[in-house]
Amino acid sequence: MIHHIILRVIAHATEDVSRVREALDFFLSGAGVREGSELIEELQAEGHHGNPITILSVQLKRKADCLNFARFVRERFSEEDVAKLREEMPERLDDDQVFHLRFDKQAAYLQQVRLTNSSDAITAKIKIETYPKNREKAGAIVEELFG
């Protein structure tokens, strides 16, 4: 199933970090992660043009948290997002069996789950485990979880 999930989002200098944190916490609280906001790590960094940015990230390791996250997200996808995801599933699953999703940061702040292609997003890297490593089995697991 899912080995772990890493969620990451960048708060730009023009954004309120607490609001970006709320958007990220929406996924954690929705998945029932008890200590959700306490798990979020905050890193101060410098952007490409020297601008200050804050990187917020969290890693979900407990099986129940990972499955609850997948269920929470899947139940809130629009029909268009499900269709888009089914079409793009092979490209979203890399050779290391990591399934990549990008969620609209503004929609998350408004308590909505919406896929986006924007780089200004909450990214999710979902590591799928199969023994032995098998991309086809990983793809079937992704389809079962999100398709």
User: Domain residue spans in the chain?
Assistant: 2-146
What pLDDT is recorded for position 49? 86
- Residue 17 — pLDDT band, cuts 50, 70, 90? very high
- pLDDT over 70, % of the chain: 99
pTM: 0.93
**Phi and psi angles of residue 57, each rounded to the nearest 5 degrees, phi first:** -145, 155
Q: Which two tokens stand for residue 96?
A: 């290391």
To the question of domain 2-146 being in CATH 3.30.1440.10, the answer is: yes
Gap between the terminal Cα atoms of the chain: 15
Of 43, 70, 73, the residue nearest 55 (C-alpha): 43
Give the per-residue pLDDT at 37.
Answer: 72
Question: 62-71: per-residue pLDDT in tens?
Answer: 999 999 999 9
Q: Using the 8-state DSSP alphabet, how is residue 21 labeled?
A: H
Query: Which DSSP category does 58 fall into?
Result: E
81-125: pLDDT as tens digits = 999 999 999 999 999 999 999 999 999 999 999 999 999 999 999
